[in-house]
Structure 1
Amino acid sequence: MDAVRFVPATELSAAFYWDAVAPLLAGEPHAAGLLGWGSDVLGYDTERSTDHGWGPRLLVFLSEGEHAPDVRRLLDAQLPESFAGWPVRFGWDDVTPRHHVTVTTLHRWLTDFLGIDATGGMSTLDWLLTPQQRLLGVVSGAGHTDGCGSLAAVRSALSWYPEQVWRWLLACQWHRLAQDEAFVARTAEVGDATGSAVVAARLVREMMRLALLLDRRYAPYDKWLGTAFAGGAHADGLPEHLNRVLSADAAPDREAALADAWVALGNRHNAAGLTTPVPVRIGTYHRRPAQVLMADRFTGALLSTVTDPFLQGLPPIGSVDHVTDHAEVLSTPAHYRRLATLWRSADPLT
């Protein structure tokens, strides 16, 4: 194939839908969009992305599932061989070449993709069990049309956590940071320079995730975490502080950069008005000379605003994203839904 001009997949998908797919579906109520898996759904695809699993694709959601076989046969027979210079039927790895217009119903797709039909709402436990990357797969990407009237509604409903869940997750994120904040100095104190750097890098990752939570933005999987974080508003210089943490060769420089990052995040918390202001101060860790924020002060302030009985009865373990970062678990609803027992067993109401 001759080289063709790269356009973001959301643009290619929209043009493919309106020019090649929609005319074949005339008279069939449906919604359509580019949702689900892939860097392109997040809007992070580049020309490099086109070498693997990239091309004109979209989802078609029918209002009635029994029509799906007929629509699939129609598309199989009448879709063009190429569109805008890109092959319509393509494969990668163990995926055999075929077209990638997936015909389903919204209810079935949500159940397959999230592990729950979110058109009927999400319980607090459902929110905790659903990885942020999976939620991004629904609310990011592009909606091309909503002839069934429910796609936009479910994307809006899933656009961010309910208020109580958000506050509790913020508390858990601060608690996760509090668990490690003294270890950068302690590891360096015993001569473990590598261990100190590793702990600091872990803190940087969790600080980035906290910043996204404060901004009401879901965190993508690790490949795109830095890109998503960089796309936020950072008038306080937080990215520069975190880069200094990662580039520091000596523990004192590492701690100084972390202190600046702690102050920035503490001030962001207070600016959000979620709790009574928490004093933002760097001090020692009890009698040890580590320079820390004592982050659990923010955890406590947030937990005092949580009134949901289910959340009040839980230890601050957070969501599935706090419990594991294993890609096979977080990308497979059948796996991560099995973790429900972690929260159910801690809930005194069950």
Structure 2
Amino acid sequence: MKESNYSSSMTGLELAREYYFQVGRPMLEAQFPEYLPKIAAGLVGDGSECLGFDDEISRDHDFGPSFCLWLTKDDYDAVGEEMQHAYASLPGEFLGFPARNTSARGDGRVGVLEIRQFYGRYIGAEQPPKSLKRWLYLPEDKLAAVTAGAVFEDSLGEFSRIRAALAEYYPEDVRIKKIAARAAGMAQSGQYNYGRCMCRGDTVAASLALNEFVRQAMSMLYLLNRRYAPYYKWMFRGLRDLPILPEVPPLLLRLVRENPLRAENAWKAEKIRNPYLNQADERVELIERICVGVIEELKRQSLTSRNDDFLEAHTYELMERIRDPELHMCHVLEG
């Protein structure tokens, strides 16, 4: 990618902000001055640049000078098509960056958008959700997408009102229900099934159990930090910014880098103290250290009072802390 010295260090959000204020806003002032006080402008939604994670690798698609303009339905019906035409006529290159390279499935992420339709793509018609069950089943990465990025200006406030309500995070009963599900999932996949699969010598099943444990553990960290987990490929990257349990991500990294074959071979030389846990497998120790760290944080947040290293044992108390009858009756793994 050909860039000037100035643009080479810019993030995607910085680029979008500069492009809007230097190119986009002057266009609106000249062609749509009466609508300017009613337009929300920014960059929100899908894309690594909205999360602040963009790099040279991620810039090969759906990246370039661009921004979003959000209108109410009435204003969109009145002027949306005309405004989109004006947006499309803006210069593509800016500050050394080439025009946005839209992928086959990346259309509609930027440009002129209707507020309710924009949020509808991510969370449906209820904006924000009205029921706890609806909150429970919303895709978390979609909630992360609509609360990431930046709003550059929004005089009307309608777009920001919905965004702020979503950014307040899950209702506490929903958060606790999800924490209970992650605790059960971590116990089942990591503390229980990984060791048993390795005991059988089934390294494929053990790898699946380990991957599930890592996914569940990362999700648990986001829940304990009250942050929405982003799209799966950015989940680990996003852990760098979480203040609670910063010691766990390095353990997860060691967990996935450990050689499973070495652990399997070591089994034969190790005197077995537990028929289902290979004490020579460093992953067993790492899994336990991660789970103990999570349990200690659950105690700090007054979500459990039990003294048990097995996460499954804490799910019962977690479920008892849910006040909503409908959520309380859900299976522990739901959510």
TM-score band by shorter chain is 0.7 to 0.9
Evaluate the alpha carbon distance shift between residue 194 and residue 101 of structure 1 in structure 2; reply closer, same or farther with a 3 A threshold: closer
- Structure-to-structure mapping, 1:25-174, within 5 angstroms: 25-26=28-29, 27=33, 28=35, 29-63=38-72, 64-66=75-77, 67-77=79-89, 79-88=90-99, 90-93=101-104, 101-118=110-127, 121-159=129-167, 160-174=169-183
Q: Which moved more, 1:131-140 or 1:100-109?
A: 100-109
Shift of 1:179: 2.5
Shift of 1:214: 0.7
CA shift digits 1:125-164 (9 cap, x unpaired): 3212321111111100111111221222222211110111
CA shift digits 1:314-339 (9 cap, x unpaired): 222333xxxxxxxxxxxxxxxxxxxx
Say if 2:15 is the partner of 1:12: yes
Q: Determine the structure 2 residue equivalent to 1:296.
A: 312
Task: Supply the distance in 2 between the matched residues of 1:43 and 1:299 (Cα, whole angstroms).
Answer: 34
Q: Determine the structure 1 residue equivalent to 2:306.
A: 278
In the alignment of these two chains, the number of paired residues is: 302
SS in 2 for 1:216: coil
* Counterpart AA for 2:84: R
Task: Supply the distance in 1 between the matched residues of 2:100 and 2:196 (Cα, whole angstroms).
Answer: 56
Aligned-pair identity in percent equals 27
Q: Going by fraction, where is strand more abundant, 1 or 2?
A: 1
Of 176, 181, 184, 2:185 maps to 176
Task: Supply the distance in 1 between the matched residues of 2:117 and 2:105 (Cα, whole angstroms).
Answer: 24
CA shift digits 1:33-77 (9 cap, x unpaired): 111111111111012222222101221112322221221233334
8 Å CA contact 2:230, 2:238 repeated in 1: yes
Task: Supply the distance in 2 between the matched residues of 1:2 and 1:9 (Cα, whole angstroms).
Answer: 15
8 Å CA contact 2:2, 2:97 repeated in 1: no
Task: Supply the distance in 2 between the matched residues of 1:93 and 1:239 (Cα, whole angstroms).
Answer: 34
Of 171, 192, 203, 2:202 maps to 192
8 Å CA contact 1:173, 1:210 repeated in 2: yes
Q: Determine the structure 2 residue equivalent to 1:305.
A: 321
Q: Which runs of 5+ in 1 are unaligned?
A: 282-292, 320-350
SS in 2 for 1:54: coil
* Counterpart AA for 1:259: E
* Counterpart AA for 2:122: F
8 Å CA contact 2:195, 2:206 repeated in 1: yes
CA shift digits 1:155-202 (9 cap, x unpaired): 221111011111111111112223222112222222334433442332
Shift of 1:22: 1.3
